[in-house]
Amino acid sequence: MAKSGLGVTIGSHSLRAVAVVKKGAQWAVTRAWSQRLEESLRNEAGRVLASKGFRGVPVTLGLEGRDVIIRYNAVPPVPDWRLRNLMKFEVMEVSGQSGGEVSADYRKLNLPDPDGNRGEDTVLVCLARNAYLLPLLASLEGAGLKVAGGCPRSVALFSAFSVNATYREDETALLVHVGAQGLDLAIQRGGELLFARSATPGGLAFTQAVATAFATTEAKAETLKTTKGDVSPRGQVRYADSTAEKVANAMTATAGQVAQLIQSTLMIGRAQTKLPDLKIDRVLLAGGGASLKGLDAYLKHAMGVPVERFNPFEGCDLSGLPEDERAALEAAPHEFAAALGLAQTPHEPAAFRLEVLPEAVRRKRDFATKGVFAVAAAAVAASGLFLLWSGRKDASAEVVRQASLYRQAEERLTKAPHRQMVDDLARAQEAREKHRRLAQLGVPGVLLSDTLALLADGMGDHPEVFLEETSLLVDDPTPSYFLLHPKGGNNGGFQTRAHTRHERSASVKVVGRVSEGPSPEKVFNEFVAAVRSKAPGRRLVVVTKKTYQARERKFELEVLPGVTLRPKGDLENASPWRLRGPELVTDEGAAAPTAVRGTTFEGLQVTVPKDDVNADDWKALVETLPAAAAKPAGGS
């Protein structure tokens, strides 16, 4: 039986579908169709596809946007049944945090382990909010199309690469899908998915930049972008007229944001995969936004690696395509790359298979494929039991007894893993909370001791400085947070309960003076610079609370055990980062720091991208940390 597939991407501005059939070892593309689709008409996608003759083959749907979440869980090697329970817990936790139900699927990553000491599995979990997913499923199924499952567009792009591209086993490639609203990125090495994420901005940001520059509508700006836009590096392009140059100038800043986002993705990917030496050998662009003239040249200039538009159709048979669809595909094959990966995923072992579906839909589908056989088996068993009962009552009684024993055993076997998971989670939460509390209780004493030693070092080099006051300030706030608890009764499941906890923080107030002399203010500045230069070694942060008071030769400092950084954007409701020993990180080729690296008070090393940090906190951080603290990404 021929293996057929249909991949569909429903973006905010376009609808694309690719239908394929596998003939022997080769894939043949039978349809490759696209159409502009305004966001308000997304729920009409099923009707539009049905009108174009797309029927009969289950759809693998591409997922994208802010309603799709990709998470990574590090778990010890466990049996499949326990992993399923852990992932159910993860889904319930995200549902509670996001304020609505989500659909999910997961799969282990096959990450390199060059040192042989990874000791744990990394599981990629994709979650989609049902408020986003269910209307799309209803649109497709209402038009007579069956849905096999949803898959993130970044993962679909990887599948298109792993199935169709030619690559070296030691080659690391970054795949970038430029959509209207955002970017979908995937890092692969040797045909294995290492990392995937979604981020902004996307192609619409270029349009909005042009609209602002020309004070015009987005529709007119889109026309200017596609007809005159060119973001090739200066010196590599000649503009047809002054309008083309103005369009290019308007879009250059957005191209820079895209380049920075790609660089930050690489940095996050290094931290997530625990491969600090991970480097990109080439970049492949896909999606409608990748058609922007000069974008490949701009990224090549910014990143220093080959950048090209991705054509996954080179090994496919296109002879069966309608003539107009074949012409459109050959003109811009990169725009259909994700849809091709979706279409091939159900039938290709090399693809990274995810099937994100609501749990109710998944159960219904499983029953449709497996339940019929179970019902038939039950009917045969019932007939046999009836014959036994009618012939021999003793045999019937034995059947009843055996059935009772079977049910009891089944109940023990099914409930034991759940109870074990509940116990494991409780122990893990208790141990983590004890460790956190002990670490925070010790912060004030360690801070005061380290501060006094730091000041002693600084005054040793500057005898003109003396101290009037050193005060230890301790704060014990009790913010509220939520934990998952097992529900009572026999039905299992979890529920959230509000808790409060102490989050001890501390600081040291330092008041001092400078002895009379020819330039006491210079002495103060040199003293502060010396103290700040030595602070990172003691994992401290020195803040100048007040400017130097020349009349009284007096100054005031505050010494902190670390920095507190508030999140922004999608993360604004998350807990802040509290980092000890912060140091700025600068991507290769970047002019300014792009992240901060430090250790939490619980002892975990983390790297926080600049794009995730509140702008005011980031500005204060850069002003506080000495320039010497900035290190290249991947550095130690």
CATH value at residue 226: 3.30.420.40
Partners of residue 429 on adjacent β-strands? none
Q: What is the mean pLDDT of the segment spanning 431-450?
A: 77
* pLDDT 10s digits, 343-353: 999 999 999 99
Closest CA to 162 of 151, 173, 177: 173
Three-class DSSP labels, 299-317: HHHHHCCCEEECCCCCCCE
SS3 (DSSP) at 468: strand
Is residue 12 domain-resident? yes
CA–CA–CA angle 163, 165, 169 (5° rounding): 95
Question: If pLDDT is split at 50, 70 and 90, which confidence band does 633 have?
Answer: low
Interval 264-319: pLDDT, tens:
999 999 999 999 999 999 999 999 999 999 999 999 999 999 999 999 999 999 99
Q: What distance lies between CA 412 and its chain's CA centroid?
A: 38
Specify the amino acid at residue 338. A
Q: Taking a C-beta distance cutoff of 8 angstroms, is the pair 443, 506 a contact?
A: yes
Examine the domain organization and report whether 618 and 491 are in the same domain: no
Nearest to 173 by CA among 157, 189, 155: 189
- Residue 340 has, within 13 A of its CA and on its CB side, a CA count of 31
Do 297 and 214 fall into the same domain?
yes
Q: Quick one: pLDDT at residue 387?
A: 46
> Is pLDDT of 378 > 50?
no
DSSP string, 513-529: EE-SSS-HHHHHHHHHH
Last residue of a domain, one of 341, 357, 373: 357
Residue type, 117: N
Same domain, 174 and 229: yes
> Beta strand pairing status for 26-36 and 14-23?
antiparallel
Q: Is residue 388 in a domain?
A: no
Mean local confidence (pLDDT), 550-570: 84
The pTM (predicted TM-score) of the whole model is: 0.60
Which one, of 107, 166, 146, lies nearest residue 355 by Cα? 107
The CATH number of the domain holding residue 317 is 3.30.420.380
Q: How far apart are CA 135 and CA 46, in angstroms?
A: 10
Same domain, 253 and 289: yes
Contact 579, 608 (CB under 8 A): yes
Residue 76 and residue 120 in one domain: yes
Q: Amino acid identity of 527?
A: F
On the question of pLDDT at 371 being above 60, the answer is no
pLDDT the model gives residue 412: 67
Please report whether residue 421 resides in a domain.
Answer: no
Cα–Cα distances (Å) from 303 to 230, 319, 392, 585, in that order, read: 18, 37, 82, 17
Task: Identify whether 469 is part of a domain.
Answer: yes
pLDDT of residue 629: 46
Write out 362-389 in H/E/C secondary structure.
Answer: HHHHHHHHHHHHHHHHHHHHHHHHHHHH
Judging by DSSP bridges, how do beta strands 554-560 and 563-565 pair with one another? unpaired
pLDDT tens by residue, 280-293: 999 999 999 999 99
Tokens linked to 410: 């089944």
Between CA 174 and CA 193 the distance in angstroms is 10
Residue 245's contacts (CB-CB under 8 Å, 6 or more residues apart) are: 239
Q: What is the pLDDT of residues 479-497, one digit of tens each?
A: 665 566 677 655 666 677 7
Do 39 and 64 have their domain in common?
yes
DSSP element (H, E) containing 482: strand 480-486
Query: Is 459:465 a contact under the CB 8 Å cutoff?
Result: yes
Place 394 in a pLDDT band, splitting at 50, 70 and 90. Answer: low
Instruction: Tell me if 188 is assigned to some domain.
Output: yes
8 Å CB contact between 82 and 89: no
| pLDDT at residue 441, as a whole number | 77
Interval 441-462 mean pLDDT: 85
Average pLDDT of the segment spanning 584-597: 87
Q: Using CB atoms within 10 Å of the CB of residue 167, give its burial: 0 to 12 exposed, 13 to 18 middle, 19+ buried.
A: middle
Q: What is the pLDDT of residue 137?
A: 94
Per-residue model confidence (pLDDT) at position 573: 56
In this structure, are 294 and 325 located in the same domain? no
- Assess whether pLDDT exceeds 90 at residue 72: yes
Q: How far apart are CA 210 and CA 246, in angstroms?
A: 9
Structural domain count, the chain: 4
Decide if 272 is inside a domain. yes
- The helix/strand/coil state of 550 is coil
Q: Strand 563-565 and strand 577-586: pairing?
A: antiparallel
Distance, in Å, from the CA atom of 20 to the CA atom of 30, rounded to the nearest integer, reads: 5
Instruction: Evaluate whether 633 touches 585 at the Cβ level (below 8 Å).
Output: yes
Pairing outcome for strands 183-189 and 192-199: antiparallel
Residues 317 and 302 in one domain: no
Task: Specify the higher pLDDT residue, 13 or 245.
Answer: 245
Same domain, 208 and 193: yes
Assess whether pLDDT exceeds 60 at residue 376: no
Residue 63 pairs in a beta bridge with 152
Asked whether 99 and 47 are in contact (CB, 8 A), the reply is no
Q: Is residue 375 part of a domain?
A: no
Q: Which one of 253, 285, 309 terminates a domain?
A: 309
Mean pLDDT computed over 505-509: 88
Q: Are residues 112 and 19 in the same domain?
A: yes
From 250, 279, 309, the end of a domain falls on 309
Q: Dump pLDDT digits (tens) for 152-164.
A: 999 999 999 999 9
23 and 40 in a single domain? The answer is yes
Q: β-strands 505-514, 465-475: how paired?
A: antiparallel
Is residue 53 domain-resident? yes
Residues 320 and 288 in one domain: no
**What is d(CA 419, CA 69) in angstroms, rounded to the nearest whole number?**
29
Secondary structure class of 26 (helix, strand, coil): strand
By residue range, what is the domain housing residue 33? 1-158+312-357
> What's the pLDDT at 571?
56
pLDDT in tens, 221-233: 999 999 999 999 9
Pick from 585, 598, 565: nearest CA to 629: 585
* Residue 243 predicted with pLDDT over 80: yes
Question: Other CB atoms closer than 10 Å to residue 623's CB: what's the count?
Answer: 9
256-287 burial code (b ≥16 CB/10 A, e <16): eebbbbbbbbbbbbbbbbbbeebebebbbbbb
CA-derived radius of gyration, the chain: 30
β pairing state of 59-63 and 147-152:
parallel
Kindly report, residue by residue over 34-62, the tens digit of the pLDDT. Answer: 998 877 677 889 999 999 999 889 999 99
> Who has greater pLDDT, 402 or 592?
592
With residue 421 as reference, give the H or E element that holds it.
Answer: helix 393-441
